[in-house]
Amino acid sequence: MDVCPQIKQCASIALGRLVHNDPAIAEELLDVGILSILLHNAGTGNKYQKTAVLFVLRSICKHNEKTAQSVVKNGGLQTLVYCLEDFEPAVKESAAWGIGYIARHSQKLAQECVNAGVLPLLMLTLQEPELSLKQIATSAVTDIAKHCEDLAVCVVDAGIVPYLAKNLQNSDEKLKRQCLAALSAIAKHSPELAEVVVEAEIFPSVSQHLSHACPAIRRNAACLIRDIAKQSLELTQFVANTGGIGSLLEVLFQYPVKQPDPVNDARIPCVSALGFIAGQSAQLAMTVLGCRTIQVLAVMLNDSTDENLLTVTAWTIGQIGRHSPEHSAAVASANIFPRLVQIFQNPESSLDLKTKCHGALKLCLQNCLLVSALEPLLSLAPPDILKYVLGQYSKVLPNDPKARRLFVTSGGLKKVQMLNAKPGTTLMEYITVINSCFPEEIVRFYSPGYPDSLLDKVEQYAPQLMTVLRETEQTNEEIQTEIVNAVAKDELSSDSDSAHAVAGADRSSH
């Protein structure tokens, strides 16, 4: 409250720095009633004093919704709007910064900012030549539009989108990053808003930004493409026609050559965008497959330890393989199913990751007719996954004799007989269909306990022997006499036969 403007300015700066670093001091400032004095100085002081007071206001608003709401209730929002109309760029910049801090906390506070008339003023600041002012104003637009569709519509109605698209051509990296984030915050809510963003002629510039040197720009560009591609088939087709798929894959091909920035890792939105593109239609999914996407996803699934990346990768794989047996066979050829099962059974995996792995396996297996890909899952998959595997076997085995033979020789039929399925369940129905594809004795042979039952039958069998030798009570001498007589009789008969033969020969010679 000093009469000297410089002392007022320095006191405000000191207070702002205290508040900026500690939310407890911000709440204490609100309790002692200094806010009303600050707001009075903002309306009557010079540009330096206004900037210092606005620094205190935004430092109070940045911490949480409670402190921001207190500033709004005490008339701080009106002061920010008033300063946003100031002639000095530094004052407008500080005011836009404070509005962004208020709007980011909740939809209610963002709506109050819109009701106070900040959007037309922000649109004007986007046309200013000062680079920092454009950056802060773009960030404030993002904080307003991100909450809901109604607020995004208000941003569109204020005519801000064309200026965001124009500023996208600026060479400044921070401004590019903020513009991409603002356009993404608008496009993500509905197909109509996404069409407005696309009509601002942001393509193919956005796809080109995927190869930018700045990681944050690459990530925000991928997020924008993702938020547009997920809205409708027409928009997805437009993204594909402008080279979006190839640009997204170029980002993925750079790893692990380039180590990812944990904060600005562009792989997650890129993989998610590919999933949305592939999920729209079978033709787009085949286009994604034709770019060696599944090989890249398989490498990520095997090598990555980032749970968020694993989750979105599993979801994208499900979107690719869901359409037809050809799509599922392409996924199976990369040997992805066992890895998904492994992640699903890992006790350290989160519930979201397990859900995505289960969904991907379900979508792909329900279309998979490749027996070689199904076979390893018979011993690896838990019952939740195994029912989809057996469901596919129940479709293949009735019409494929070679598959039936392979199913028996590889031990698949034996594994099926060892399953403990409850009667009336889907799993039991599939087992019944599979058993009906084989002769009853084959099924019985591979049933558990069948070898033991065979051994029991061996032990219980009573042999029925035939009598080979004649029982007799003759002595050895009598037996020998009979043998001599039989031999002599045979010799006499042979002599008589030879005499008759000689006589017949003589008669024939005469």
Burial classification of residue 414, based on how many CB atoms lie within 10 Å of its CB (0-12 exposed, 13-18 middle, 19 or more buried): middle
Specify the 3-state DSSP secondary structure of 350. Answer: coil
How many residues in total does the chain contain? 510
Can you give the pLDDT at residue 505? 46
Q: What is the 3-state secondary structure (H, E, C) of 416-437?
A: HHCCCCCCCCHHHHHHHHHHCC
DSSP string, 478-490: HHHHHHHHHHHHH
Q: How far is CA 420 from the centre of its chain?
A: 31
E strand or H helix at 506: helix 476-509
Can you give the pLDDT at residue 475? 55
pTM for the predicted model, two decimal places: 0.81
Which DSSP category does 323 fall into?
S
Return all residues near 273 (Cβ < 8 A) that are at least 6 apart: 222, 225, 226, 229, 244, 248
SS3 content of the chain, % helix, strand, coil (to 5): 75, 0, 25
Taking residue 370's Cβ as centre, other Cβ atoms within 10 Å add up to: 18
The two three-digit tokens of residue 353, written as one number: 């990751």
How many angstroms separate the Cα of 379 from the Cα of each of 376, 411, 446?
A: 6, 10, 16
Spell out the alpha helix ranges (H) of 383-425: 383-396, 401-409, 412-417
* Cis? peptide before 204, omega within 30° of 0: yes
Burial classification of residue 243, based on how many CB atoms lie within 10 Å of its CB (0-12 exposed, 13-18 middle, 19 or more buried): middle
Can you give the pLDDT at residue 111? 94
Specify the 3-state DSSP secondary structure of 128. Answer: coil
Return all residues near 137 (Cβ < 8 A) that are at least 6 apart: 96, 122, 125, 126
Under 8 Å between Cβ of 83 and 94: yes
**Which residue ranges in the chain fall short of pLDDT 70?**
43, 255-262, 449-510
Burial classification of residue 250, based on how many CB atoms lie within 10 Å of its CB (0-12 exposed, 13-18 middle, 19 or more buried): middle
Place of tokens 């607020």: 151
With both helix axes pointing from N to C terminus, report the angle between 307-321 and 267-280 in degrees, rounded to the nearest 10.
20
E strand or H helix at 221: helix 215-229
Place of tokens 């950056």: 135
pLDDT in tens, 319-336: 999 999 999 999 998 889
Spell out the alpha helix ranges (H) of 267-336: 267-280, 282-289, 293-303, 307-321, 325-333
